[in-house]
Each structure stands twice: as structure tokens, then as C-alpha cells.
Amino acid sequence: MSDKANVMMNDNGTILDVISWVFGIVVFAIGIINSFWGNDPFFGVFIILLSFVYFPPVTALFKTITGFNIPRFVKIIVGVFILWAALGVGELFDKIELMTRSF
């Protein structure tokens, strides 16, 4: 491979890592909101645990321990499930409003 191709692959990996970090933080925040301002704190804890799938160090640790890498399509499906559950069924915006009122 040429040096230019290596740089392009490293840039692509860096961009995907940044997207993964940002989405992981957003999902973690959704889990915190659901844990403390929702009617089902166990659902919030479940979302918090699922958020760790998106953090690159956790993914690397998981691969080191199990030898199995979590495929991107699984992360995408889990992300769609989390967004659907939080925004649609979980009424996230109502919980955010409740959270802002409590401060």
C-alpha cells in the first residue's frame, strides 16, 4: 500500500472513532436521563451499559478479552434501537423537560 492510502485509511478510522465517541456520550447521557428522571431506572442502566459498545477503548478491551470484534452493523442496529426506544417509546423530550424543571 502506498503512503497516501495508509493516511486515508487512518483518517477514516479517526473519523469513525470520533463519531463513535460522540454517539457513545450521547447514548450515555440518554441513559443517565432515563435512570434518574424516568419511570424505569433499570432501562436507563441498560442504556448506559449499551453505550459502552460505542467507546473505542471498551471495544478494544472486549476484542482483547474475547477475541471477537463487534461488527459495525451490530453497532448501527443497537444505535437505531436506542434512539427508537429513547425518542419514541421513552419520551426523552418529556424527561428532559422534567429534568430542567427540577433544577
**Interval 11-25: pLDDT, tens:** 667 888 999 999 999
- Of the listed ranges 14-18, 19-23, 34-38, 68-72, the one predicted with least confidence: 34-38
pTM: 0.78
Number of domains in the chain: 1
Q: What pLDDT does residue 27 have?
A: 94
For residue 43, give its domain range.
3-101
Task: State residue 45's pLDDT score.
Answer: 93
Check residue 7 and give its pLDDT.
46
Among 12-21, 36-45, 46-55, 89-98, where is mean pLDDT lowest? 89-98
Contacts of 53-58 with C-beta under 8 Å, sequence gap 24+, read: 53/24, 53/78, 54/20, 54/21, 54/23, 54/24, 54/27, 54/79, 55/20, 55/21, 55/24, 56/17, 56/20, 56/21
